[in-house]
Amino acid sequence: MGKKLLNVLKYVLLLSISAALMVYALRGQDLSRIGQYMREADYFWLGLTMLLSVLGYLSRSYRWKMQLDAAGQHASLKDVYHATMVGNLANLVLPRMGEVIRCTVLRRNGGVPVQVGLGSVITERVIDVFVLFGLLGATLLLDFHKFWAFVLDKLGGGAAADALARNRTPLLIAGAIALVLLLSGIWALIRNLERLRQNALFNRLADFVRGLLAGVFSIRRIENKWLFLFHTFFTWLVYFLMDYLAFFAFPETQNLGWRAGLAALTFGAFGMAAPVSGGIGTFHLLMQSILIVFGISPEAGIAYALVVHGAQTLLVVLMGGISFVASMLKTGKGLRGLTDESLIEEPAVADVK
């Protein structure tokens, strides 16, 4: 009973955070203008992004199948796809649980051990984290002045912010100091490595990092590495086009270029990755802020975020619902037990070739 109550309180807290972020994003704005932007949007472009999303989900499912094949688990693409979409559907309600649920669904439908599925998911997520931070670096470098001025304006604004936005010297000095501190920390770490190895916390952290790196390097076992890289690139290209093409749905955003689309992709992905239900609140606030950086009004920015997020959520509900029904018909089991099925039946060590 205590565990159930704790879970309920956790989800209530997460929903409260989402609601608070939405209220913060809408504060002091003209709600009638936001409604007008949403009514006047050209939904042809939103429909196009939804069609592209279907291709993205299929590509991501095929990439996951390639990882499973490399681990000696040959589930059908149909089973992998349905498990992926049920996991996406679950993430709308149960933050962080979608990955576990999709692996459990794949065990039911395709016979893939949960440990193998989770290992491949971790690898997938580590690769995507590297891609995302690469995009973040590119985004900040391409539009450094815009982001620097925005941050300074939020911290104080005024002429000082404009001057610092044009002059990188203070930032370069701060970067040099940070680099010296980083190198000093690495030197101290190397010097005291033997002593640190006797610390249990350090060993757990080292094991965690080694596990992540092992997950990344496990793609060496994939038979067609170039095809795997293609699907990784294609999936992220679809994500980019989903945000960029949606610009054309609104008069205020239709003249934004690809760099704004790259920024929307990057920060929107961070918003969706936040531990809240379906990225509600975090996605909207970050997307609104990014569009403000590129000169879009707060009302138009939040309208864009609401429409884009709403369209994608609707698509996940429809496709995830169909996949859930298909999975339930195949196995005769519902959602009950997906999050707490025992792993005792699973082999302790996956058969990885």
The closest alpha carbon to 303, from 19, 3, 39, belongs to 39
**pLDDT tens profile 110-128:** 888 888 888 888 888 888 8
**pLDDT of the residue at 344:** 37
More confident residue, 192 or 62: 62
Residue 263 lies in a domain: no
Residue 244 lies in a domain: no
Residue 353 has pLDDT above 70, yes or no: no
Average of pLDDT values for 284-307? 91
Residue 36 lies in a domain: no
**pLDDT of the residue at 155:** 58
* Per-residue CA distances from 122 to 126, 216, 333 (Å): 6, 9, 26
**pLDDT of the residue at 9:** 77
- Using DSSP, state whether 250 is helix, strand or coil: coil
Residue 22 lies in a domain: no
Give the pair of three-digit tokens for residue 348.
């302790």
> Cα angle vertex 159, ends 158, 163, to 5°?
125
Residue 196 lies in a domain: yes
| Out of 69-73, 227-231, 250-254, 320-324, least confident range | 69-73
What domain count does the chain have? 1
**pLDDT of the residue at 338:** 56
SS3 content of the chain, % helix, strand, coil (to 5): 80, 0, 20
Residue 1 has pLDDT above 60, yes or no: no
Residue 303 lies in a domain: no
**pLDDT tens profile 138-195:** 988 887 777 766 666 665 555 555 565 566 676 677 778 888 888 888 787 777 777 7
Residue 86 lies in a domain: yes
Q: Give the domain extent around 158.
A: 44-233+313-331
To 10 degrees, the CA torsion angle through 41, 46, 47, 49?
160
**pLDDT tens profile 3-26:** 677 767 777 787 788 888 888 878
Average of pLDDT values for 264-286? 87
Residue 53 lies in a domain: yes
* Per-residue CA distances from 288 to 11, 58, 181, 281, 296 (Å): 25, 29, 35, 10, 9
More confident residue, 25 or 90: 90
